[in-house]
Amino acid sequence: MSTTTTDLAALATALRAAIGADRVISDRQELRTYECDGLAQYKVVPALVALPADAAQCAAVVRACVAAGVPFVARGSGTGLSGGALPHADGVLIVTSRMRDILEVAPSDERAVVQPGVINLAVSRAANPHGWYYAPDPSSQQICSIGGNVAENSGGAHCLKYGFTTNHVTGVELVTPDGDRVRLGGRAPDAPGYDLLGAFVGSEGTLGIATEVIVRLTRLPESVRTLLAAFESTDQAGAATSAIIAAGVVPAAVEMMDALAISAAEAAVHCGYPAGAGAVLIVELDGPEPEVAAQFDQVERLCRDNRAFEIRIAVDDAERALFWKGRKSAFAAVGRISPDYIVQDGVIPRTALPEVLRRIGELSAERGIRVANVFHAGDGNLHPLVLFDASVDGQTERAEEVSGAILDLCVRHGGSITGEHGVGMDKAKYMPRMFTDDDLDTMQLLRCAFDPAGLANPGKVFPTPRLCGEVPGRRSGAHPAQEAGLAEVF
């Protein structure tokens, strides 16, 4: 079923009538603003963009798409790093940036209720005066949206202690792929029946569009203490991380950067990390003052036992901010030392850190491609930054090989092809490295239960374009529905 220009013009008219002319974009130049997300190597200009103001308008847009048989893709702030919000060329991009109201902050319930376009950090800013905050803190938290966080089940530096987005969302209102408005969960901590809220969190826009989110608030800690430990090697820093966790201490965050990542951060933000470090750890503890004081001494000792050659303890908020500045700027800083780079995202059991980091070093040397490592060490969530120069013949291909080989390493060590950035467009091809055909078919059954017409973010997450109604199992050649001209492969 291919969508014609006339169909799209009729759809644009229907959308303008439903949500107002100023909320629909059809001009090609303006549409280009939305041609990619944070993974800029994929670019697709959408046919139309709709900017609904509320849930009712969002539902009206989805219903118009359904009536026209046109696919739609949700977009929050477009900071995703897996091409999840990449538009469909014949589809509507539904952008939530005009749905930015914080509807309620209710400390007595430990809850806040927000529209999906609300920026992550804005929730904490609204809750802070009451003594509360929103714990999941992706490094992009100054710009990414809560709706995007829910769709990606986003993590962050402090998710080691506090858990990922899924642990902080108790309810969602969504527009289903056929345009209905439904609620999953609520303010209570748990609901009976199948955990559909759990299925929705992390579904990357394939099960519907979140239009309201109830999040759990966390009390601001009484005390926060942060140290920076410098080691000669990532092996030593990895061993220190394992030792801290094995001792029963759960820091709020344990972040690692290797020598290349440190030198990039130094060049960009002059964070003043110890000279000559092969790796640094940032360890942050929070909680009641006596507990933090006792555990901080223990962490310091464990770092020294694992051959930290310098330990700095932040004396005030300004110094703590400086420690974090280097870490939080690292992704962007790498742009100073390499014209192009891939931000990879994989997970391994924490104890495999030294071995996997060593192997990444070997892969890098074998293929002549530099890799900088900056990551959530406490969670075993790696972010290798694979550096290359696209203008040099063959470097892009070699960088992609290294990047894929790193994911294979993660899977071989019992980990996963993504820790927090999602599968999106970019990693769909890697799904069979982790899942069997039967696994993927079972996941498709869930997707089809929400979206039998396959209109919500098609072409993402799944490696093969299986379609609802298809009998699960191996398939080769064109899908029968394709051959019959009833469906197309996105």
Ligand X SMILES: Cc1cc2nc3c(=O)[nH]c(=O)nc-3n(C[C@H](O)[C@H](O)[C@H](O)COP(=O)(O)OP(=O)(O)OC[C@H]3O[C@@H](n4cnc5c(N)ncnc54)[C@H](O)[C@@H]3O)c2cc1C
With CB under 6 A as the contact rule, the residue among 204, 255, 426, 441 that binds ligand X is: 204
Residues 408-427 that bind ligand X (CB under 6 A): 420-421, 424
Q: For ligand X, what does the binding mask look like between residues 457 and 476, x meaning CB under 6 A?
A: x-------------------
Using CA atoms, how far apart are residues 274 and 276, in angstroms rounded to an integer? 6
**Residue 85 in the binding site for ligand X (CB under 6 A):** yes
Which one among 8, 44, 47, 144 touches ligand X, defined by CB under 6 A?
Answer: 144
Query: Which of 44, 48, 52, 75 is close enough to bind ligand X by CB under 6 A?
Result: 75
Q: Which two tokens stand for residue 192?
A: 């009976």
Query: Which one, 75 or 413, has the nearer CB to ligand X?
Result: 75
When binding is defined by CB under 6 A, the residue of 149, 170, 295, 373 that contacts ligand X is 149
**Which residues in 227-286 contact ligand X (CB under 6 A)?**
none
Q: Are 112 and 104 a contacting pair, CB within 8 Å?
A: yes
Question: How many of the chain's residues bind ligand X (CB under 6 A)?
Answer: 37
Nearest-angstrom CA–CA distance, 278 and 239: 14
Residue 295 Cβ, how far from ligand X at the closest point, in Å?
Answer: 24
User: Which are the contacts of 378, defined by CB distance < 8 A and separation ≥ 6?
Assistant: 160, 241, 245, 251, 253, 254, 255, 350
- The strand pairing partners of 173, in sequence order, are 183, 212
Angle between helices 55-68 and 5-19 (to 10 degrees): 160
The interface mask with ligand X, positions 54-73, x = CB under 6 A, is -------------------x
Q: Which is nearer to ligand X, 154 or 236 (CB)?
A: 154
Residues of this chain, 427-456, that bind ligand X according to CB under 6 A: none
Phi-psi region of 407 (alpha: psi -120 to 50; beta: other; left: phi over 0): alpha
Pattern 124-143, binding to ligand X, x per CB under 6 A?
--------------xxx---
Binding site for ligand X (CB under 6 A): 37-38, 73-81, 84-85, 96, 116, 138-140, 144-145, 147-149, 151-152, 154-156, 204-205, 209-210, 331, 420-421, 424, 457
